[in-house]
Structure 1
Amino acid sequence: MSIKKQFLKSKPVCKVSFKLQKEQVMHASRVNVVGDFNNWNENSDELKQLKDGSFSHTVELETGREYQFRYVADGSNWFNDDEADRFVSSGHGDARNGVLSL
């Protein structure tokens, strides 16, 4: 798993790139990154599958904020990214959300 942040000088935006290796997605055919930046919509921000089997997606997020997020594979398998800046309780049992600090 990897998260890369590219802060833009021209506007208060950060391009956040998410990348998952095929072994990390439990052989899923579809993976989405969901969070408070897209109202936890499981159908938005789908990662594109690359030729090597990995998945990648980039979003532009406003800087000066924190965003909670998780991944969902094939619409049902939720998991976190180990490279999140920190983790907080999701409010659903013992599940935790990753946090991006921008």
Structure 2
Amino acid sequence: MTWSITDQVRRRGRPRGPGPELTPPRISNARSPNRADEALDALTHAARDTTPACTGDARFTAERHETPPTDLIAMRGICRTCPLHDLCNTYATTARPAAGFWAGAHYGKEGSS
């Protein structure tokens, strides 16, 4: 089964590719739930036509403590060149996801970096 971005957010905190349309989750730790939902909707919609640069790269869904510093540098570079960077950043700063590497920063238990 292929998972959508919204399903990946619920499961691991990071999208892995296009999938069936699902209703975006309500994010309990969001600064502004309505803005977070809108940001996720925009990101999901854009990802239908444009593949995120991180698609298929397991480093973006790995646990923060498992990611070596050299990978972080490479991942930030990938994020900077991604055509969805601005939408991803808007979602990440609005929703503060529970996990994952979003728009060049890790989110989760240890905060963003």
TM-score (norm 2): 0.27
Q: Which has the higher helix share?
A: 2
Q: Which has the higher strand share?
A: 1
